[in-house]
């Protein structure tokens, strides 16, 4: 474990990436408690790595671990930690949190998606950074089919309609695209 921890903080990003990519195998062999105590904190730290490839790989790693350990474990141990990271002042890290949420959305029970994750996404739709907002549109496009249609109509559709009026052309484009994909009039 000390070697893994040391390599996970190596100055060469490719070394850090290799460690992140091997964490699901270690987690599946060593179990949820070991992951939670020893590897989990390192994964959360890797979600805020300065290198985008590592942040992206970590999001995928957490999704693999969520599938391995199941929806209840994911709900209890991953979702709260990831959601708490949305308050980061750097927009790239907020986008990584949103991406991770989108990957976990199909793993958790729908009530967790609706009650815990969707409010975070809706809040991010009001972010001051256009890149965050158009990534919210992409996320809503992906998760709308996972939601009960009435929930999507009550929450996702109005959010996208509002984003279609955004000052940024890219936000408007992705909001319109998400509306069309969801089958709503854009």
pLDDT in tens, 7-40: 888 899 999 999 999 999 989 999 999 888 888 8
Residue 186 clears pLDDT 80, i.e. is over it: no
Of the candidates 102, 29, 93, 103, the residue with the CA atom closest to the CA atom of residue 61: 103
- 119-149 pLDDT, tens per residue? 999 999 999 999 999 999 999 999 999 999 9
> CA triplet 121, 136, 151: central angle to 5 degrees?
55
What is d(CA 155, CA 94) in angstroms, rounded to the nearest whole number? 21
Place of tokens 């009650």: 115
Percent pLDDT > 90 in the chain is: 85
Q: Are 20 and 54 a contacting pair, CB within 8 Å?
A: yes
Residue 90's pLDDT band, with cuts at 50, 70 and 90, is: very high
What is d(CA 64, CA 10) in angstroms, rounded to the nearest whole number? 23
What is d(CA 156, CA 130) in angstroms, rounded to the nearest whole number? 18
Distances in Å between the alpha carbon of 87 and those of 44, 45, 49, 81? 14, 15, 16, 12
Residue 150's pLDDT band, with cuts at 50, 70 and 90, is: very high
Residue 48's pLDDT band, with cuts at 50, 70 and 90, is: very high
pTM for this predicted structure: 0.90
The answer for residues whose C-beta is within 8 angstroms of residue 131's C-beta and 6 or more apart is 91, 95, 170
């Amino acid at each position: 474990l000390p070697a893994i921890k040391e390599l996970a903080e190596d100055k060469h990003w490719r070394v850090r990436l290799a460690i992140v990519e091997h964490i699901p195998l270690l987690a599946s062999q060593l179990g949820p408690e070991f992951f939670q105590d020893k590897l989990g904190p390192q994964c959360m730290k890797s979600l805020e790595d300065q290198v985008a490839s590592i942040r992206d790989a970590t999001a995928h790693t957490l999704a693999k671990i969520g599938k391995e350990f199941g929806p209840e474990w994911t709900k209890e141990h991953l979702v709260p930690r990831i959601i708490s990271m949305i308050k980061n002042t750097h927009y790239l890290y907020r986008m990584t949190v949103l991406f991770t949420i989108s990957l976990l959305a199909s793993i958790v029970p729908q009530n967790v998606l609706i009650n815990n994750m969707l409010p975070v996404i809706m809040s991010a739709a009001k972010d001051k950074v256009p890149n965050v907002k158009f990534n919210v549109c992409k996320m809503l496009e992906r998760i709308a089919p996972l939601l009960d249609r009435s929930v999507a109509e009550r929450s996702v559709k109005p959010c996208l309609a509002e984003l279609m009026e955004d000052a940024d052309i890219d936000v408007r484009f992705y909001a319109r695209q998400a509306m069309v994909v969801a089958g709503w009039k854009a």
